[in-house]
Amino acid sequence: MIDFQKLANEFGTPLYVYDSEKIRKRIKKAKTVFDGLDAEIVFALKANNNPALLKIMAEEEIGADVVSRGELLASKMAGMNRILWNGNGKTHEDIRHFVNQGLNIVCIDSLQELPLWDGVNVIKLLRVNPDVDARTHPHISTGLRAHKFGVPIEKVSEVADRIDGIHLHIGSQITDVEPFFDAYSKALDCAKQYGFKHIDLGGGWGIDYEGRELDIERLQKGISGIFAGFDGKLIAELGRFIIGPAGYLVTKVVSVKPSEKIFIVTDAGMNALIRPVLYDAHHRIQVLASTKKTVTADVVGPLCESGDILARGRKLEVPIPGTAIVLENAGAYGFSMANNYNGMPFPAEVLVDGEEVKLIRRRQSIEELFTNVKM
């Protein structure tokens, strides 16, 4: 059991806390989905790119799914050996850099990008758009024709002799298996038609934010059935599924403010965790010390925006000002989407490994906000 209040006292708040044991358990759970199949898992660094956490992935033989030079550097710092490059805005300069750094697999986003890769010795996968509704938040749904990613699957016929396989990713935080099965079946049909030996299934496996998550047993059975006769390699790009449940945001209660409704004011806002504002995301909250009185309240941050809300209309025990509360399932798209709005420095990050607690990113100082400024 992690003593969050002790960590808050020692390292200050806002503070991101990660549980290494839980990370390893999530990786093990993900691997069971591909039992009996030739498959590899790569970690999507967009979910969290701290090299200390990526080192755990590397130790568990997980590769890197990167979209930028910064993420590539983080993966190299962590010792991740297999590098897959995603994204829809690759430049000539970026391509030279990635190839020189030992790129293994590229996911090509368009027919216009494909000529840039002619003659380059990497595994080339074309991102196809299977026109499947992921049934998730519209900001993170990516598998319909109206979305900017990939090419219509029927266009593969035009370039099949220039690629090694196909890639798809229909969205994020998907808790229904059926969209996956629909997309995977279309991908397999395409691969069989053209003799491809590589299929990148993307990611999007949903976690339990508020009582619903992806049924991993059903997913495993479905994948096993769909790909039973596939004589090739599968790739899965997982981020949130691995790191999401293993991370927590610890924030101090500044005040409890009664008005027309009750506001619990904390020292973390959408600068530290923007998901509730951006996606209407729900994070369960632990109150570590309370008056034992239960109220319905909004949990809000210190920024000068009325939309600076971490939780809306929650039934919570009234926390004692000066003590911490904890937002759960904050390991993915938490720190990686943090920002300096209102001149707020980035939080610190710590890793809990059994009895050992390690500071893996110190808190940004106020002075460091302006390190790159020239007057």
End-to-end CA distance of the chain: 49
- Burial degree of 258 (CB within 10 A; 0-12, 13-18, 19+): exposed
> Which two tokens mark 66?
């990167």
Token pair 């619903």 in the structure block, residue: 212
For strands 309-319 and 324-327, give the pairing: unpaired
**Domains and their CATH numbers in the chain:** 4-16+245-369 (2.40.37.10), 34-238 (3.20.20.10)
> Which two tokens mark 62?
């997980």
Residues tagged active-site: 304
Handedness of CA 64, 69, 70, 75 (dihedral sign): positive
So what's the pLDDT on residue 292? 95
So what's the pLDDT on residue 112? 94
Q: What does each of the 375 residues of the chain score in pLDDT, given as a tens digit?
A: 999 999 999 999 999 999 999 999 999 999 999 999 999 999 999 999 999 999 999 999 999 999 999 999 999 999 999 999 999 889 999 999 999 999 999 999 999 999 999 999 999 999 998 877 655 445 444 444 445 567 999 899 999 999 999 999 998 899 999 999 999 999 999 999 999 999 999 999 999 999 999 999 999 999 999 999 999 999 999 999 999 999 999 999 999 999 788 999 999 999 999 999 999 999 999 999 999 999 999 999 999 999 999 999 999 999 999 999 999 999 999 999 999 999 999 999 999 999 999 999 999 999 999 999 999
CA atoms of 177 and 303, how far apart (whole Å):
38
State the angle between helix axes of 92-100 and 69-78 in degrees (0 to 180), rounded to the nearest 10.
Answer: 10
So what's the pLDDT on residue 135? 53
List of residues 6+ apart from 129 with CB closer than 8 A: 143, 144, 145, 147, 149, 150, 151, 152, 153, 168
> Which two tokens mark 24?
């390893």
CA atoms of 106 and 23, how far apart (whole Å):
26
